[in-house]
Amino acid sequence: MLEVKDLKARVEDKEILKGINLHVRPGEVHAIMGPNGSGKSTLAGVLAGRETYEVSAGTVRFGDADLIEMEPEVRACEGLFMAFQYPVEIPGVSTINFLKAAVNAVRKHRGQDELDAMDFLALVREKLELVNMDESFLRRSVNAGFSGGEKKRNEVFQMAVLNPKLAILDETDSGLDIDALKIVADGVNALRGPDRAFVVITHYQRLLDHIVPDHVHVLHDGRIVRSGGRELALELEDKGYGWLDKEMAERA
């Protein structure tokens, strides 16, 4: 589903991703862990199409297509969703109108008719339950004045409504208390399925207690330095990220 090869990316003159390789198949959950500044959020941003990053080398295939060539909105319409680390506030635009615009943009891209108001409302109500939010939430402006937990739940809620093939969760656990973390994780788990893949980016292993990954990758200084199963995350939890620097130093 997603095939990243030798991906290099920079911001202005600074190279941040220095050759990433990653292969994600349908149904899989990949966790990407690493210390601050290792390039985790850059990777998410490059995959979603943020223009701050310049891809300088490598390829990314999404399904049969070249992901790098696509505009961000086309990536979204093709089924790539990113849950933001810092969801953006849009004052005056209600959550329901925002989501309706998004759903209909995706449907238009697929050659489908727009959903009528009743069908849309039915869809949205069903998904609200998934993240334990009530309907009053739909009338509030997108993320404006939301608590940290509400913002993250809103991301998972949008994901559920938009029904993507590949979801990238960029530090969705940051700033969440344990209850909120559990709600978010339950929402994500409910969306797991044989056709959908997840890339879960996180600093801490605790999220992975709730969203159990198939593969864990450790990112360090713009490269994936180790890959393994779930146990790798536990090892990291034990040792912290400090050993990485040591290991890198020894290699050099």
State the residues that interact with another protein by CB under 8 A.
48-52, 71-73, 75-77, 81-82, 84, 87-93, 97-99, 101-102, 105-106, 109, 141, 158, 162
Q: Which is nearer to another protein, 93 or 234 (CB)?
A: 93
What CA–CA distance (Å, rounded) separates 122 from 71? 30
Q: How far is the CB of 120 from another protein (least distance, A)?
A: 15
Q: Which is nearer to another protein, 92 or 194 (CB)?
A: 92
Q: Which residues, in sequence order, are bridge partners of residue 228?
A: 216
Q: Which is nearer to another protein, 82 or 211 (CB)?
A: 82
What CA–CA distance (Å, rounded) separates 130 from 238? 33
Q: How far is the CB of 102 from another protein (least distance, A)?
A: 4
Q: Which is nearer to another protein, 82 or 224 (CB)?
A: 82
Which residue bears the tokens 């404006």? 144
In 10 A of CB 142, how many CB atoms?
21
DSSP character string of 110-179: TTPPPPPHHHHHHHHHHHHHHTT--THHHHSEETTT--HHHHHHHHHHHHHHH--SEEEEESTTTT--HH
Q: Which pair of tokens denotes residue 238?
A: 């034990």
Q: How far is the CB of 65 from another protein (least distance, A)?
A: 16
Q: Which is nearer to another protein, 123 or 234 (CB)?
A: 123
Q: Which pair of tokens denotes residue 153?
A: 């739940």
Q: How far is the CB of 91 from another protein (least distance, A)?
A: 6
Q: How far is the CB of 109 from another protein (least distance, A)?
A: 7
Q: Which pair of tokens denotes residue 96?
A: 């329901």
Q: How far is the CB of 230 from another protein (least distance, A)?
A: 29
Q: Which pair of tokens denotes residue 124?
A: 């949205």
Q: How far is the CB of 125 from another protein (least distance, A)?
A: 19
Q: Which is nearer to another protein, 84 or 184 (CB)?
A: 84
Q: Which is nearer to another protein, 57 or 93 (CB)?
A: 93
Q: Which pair of tokens denotes residue 103?
A: 């759903």
Q: Are 62 and 80 in contact (CB under 8 A)?
A: yes
In 10 A of CB 81, how many CB atoms?
21
